Copies of this chain bind each other. A is one copy, B any other.
């Protein structure tokens, strides 16, 4: 064994010991976590659907309520429809800039959140994705207070992922985990169209 290999081995053994010690000190959470995916970069919704895939892999029960996006045909929607294992509700009004009636938008967001609250309280789900709900709060279709009140009444077993840019600070303070996706380099800026599969 070369010297390099030997020092690599020692370093890796030390790292392994540290890792085991760290893990042994951690405790299981007593309830499903609240995760927020925000920021101007890509990956907020797709990573929520990746988390859904993980949960399904462990045979957990997953629900999705999509705020804002409705009319657009998305790959994720087609995939999960075909799979038939996920309860899926869409607010059903298309992008906000496709509707021009604020009162209708508010009513749609409220109805969608009513559905979400029902699912969170039911105890039937391990994971619920509230996709783009931060946008509904940003436009004041939903208040952050009512969203937090809804999260508070969720069943102990249920984790919730809330996605969308411009997450409210009060929601971030309430959440167990907040991840910000930052756009470092984006093809749209270079004049390239959104692509099936990658972008929707």
Contact = CB atoms under 8 A, between A and B. Distances in A.
Contacts of A200: 54
A63 interface: no
A184 B195 contact: no
B33 A56 contact: no
A100 B126 CA distance: 37
Interface string A170-197: 0010011111111111111011111111
Contacts of A193: 23, 26-29
A21 interface: no
Instruction: Count copies of this chain in the complex.
Output: 2
B98 A16 contact: yes
A45 B39 contact: no
B28 A198 contact: no
A25 B8 CA distance: 52
Nearest to A189: B177
Interface string A65-100: 000000000111111101100000000000011111
Interface in A8-33: 8-9, 12-13, 15-16, 19, 23, 25-29, 33
Nearest to A179: B41
Given A175-B185, A185-B176, A198-B33, A53 B41 contact: no
Give 7 nearest A-B pairs by CB, closest first. Answer: A46-B50, A57-B75, A54-B75, A57-B79, A47-B47, A55-B197, A43-B47
Given A27-B192, A35-B198, A41-B180, 20 more contacts: A4-B102, A9-B102, A26-B192, A41-B179, A42-B177, A43-B43, A46-B54, A48-B50, A50-B76, A54-B197, A54-B198, A55-B75, A55-B196, A55-B197, A57-B197, A58-B196, A176-B192, A177-B187, A178-B184, A179-B184
